[in-house]
Amino acid sequence: KAGVTQTPRYLIKTRGQQVTLSCSPISGHRSVSWYQQTPGQGLQFLFEYFSETQRNKGNFPGRFSGRQFSNSRSEMNVSTLELGDSALYLCASSLAINEQFFGPGTRLTVL
Amino acid sequence: KQEVTQIPAALSVPEGENLVLNCSFTDSAIYNLQWFRQDPGKGLTSLLLIQSSQREQTSGRLNASLDKSSGRSTLYIAASQPGDSATYLCAVSNDYKLSFGAGTTVTVRA
């Protein structure tokens, strides 16, 4: 069974631009979560979706948004990028709220 | 707010020694606890999942215990190998999200 896939793997953007990251969960998994990982803050929860509904959202500004499609694939969008948004963005999927499986991440660099 | 602490932050041991990694959390109302491994620049690999009703879970050389009432979990890795070198992260689940510790970076010297 294929694992969680994330695209693109690497991105370089400049301040003020926006970016969209994509996540395809493990087949059959309906829950998708997003996390931001930085050296200073560690792993921080962004949001979680289940069957296209956001069930929880972390403490991030409104520039960070997400959505989930009917096939469980998810996207997250960051608008008006700031230098501090440079991070590894990780997506995880699970059947419900059980064991979470993570993808390889998207490394975003904001210049 | 759930706070997760991992001690020590870093650990260096010779090959063959047993590893003991500690994790503590402030809110005992968790759904489960998961241990992960992360190699530099990579995603997270799930090692063990302990449901809140369980006391321990084992997989090969790995054993994790959970004491929900005291807010503690311990990951034991037996007979460490250089390939065990990585950062180990503990995460607790509640309210549809994982709260992570900062991790323990392990170096196993050959």
Q: Give DSSP secondary structure letters for A33-85.
A: EEEEEETTTEEEEEEEEETTEEEEE-S--TTEEEEE-TTS-EEEEE-S--GGG
Query: So what's the pLDDT on residue A2?
Result: 84
B41 has a pLDDT exceeding 90? no
Among A65, A57, A73, which residue's Cα sits nearest to residue A6?
A: A73
Residues of B in contact with A102 (CB under 8 A): 36, 43-46
> Is there a contact between A94 and A35 (Cβ–Cβ < 8 Å)?
no
pLDDT, tens digit, 9 for 90 and up, residues B43-85: 999 999 999 999 999 999 999 999 999 999 999 999 999 999 9
Contact assignment for A92 to B98 by CB distance below 8 Å: yes
**The token pair that represents B50 in the structure block:** 């302990």
Query: So what's the pLDDT on residue B95?
Result: 84
Contact assignment for A42 to B95 by CB distance below 8 Å: no
Contact assignment for B32 to A45 by CB distance below 8 Å: no
**The token pair that represents B61 in the structure block:** 């050389």
Residues of A in contact with B95 (CB under 8 A): 56
A96 has a pLDDT exceeding 70? no
Q: How far apart are CA A44 and CA B16, in angstroms?
A: 34
DSSP for residue B31 = S
Half-sphere exposure of A47 (CA within 13 A, CB side): 22
The shortest CB-CB distance from B46 to any of A45, A55, A99 is to A99
Pairing mode, strands A42-50 and A53-57: antiparallel
A93 inside 8 A of chain B by CB: no
Residue B37's CB: how many other CB atoms inside 10 A? 20
User: What whole-number percentage of chain A has pLDDT above 70?
Assistant: 97
Alpha-carbon B93 to chain mean position: 13
CA distance B35 to chain A (A): 10
Q: In chain B, how many H helices and how many E strands?
A: 0, 11
Residues of A in contact with B100 (CB under 8 A): 35, 42-43
CA distance A102 to chain B (A): 6
Q: How many inter-chain contacts (A to B, CB under 8 Å) are there?
A: 57
pLDDT, tens digit, 9 for 90 and up, residues A31-68: 999 999 999 999 999 999 999 999 999 999 999 999 99
Query: So what's the pLDDT on residue A101?
Result: 96
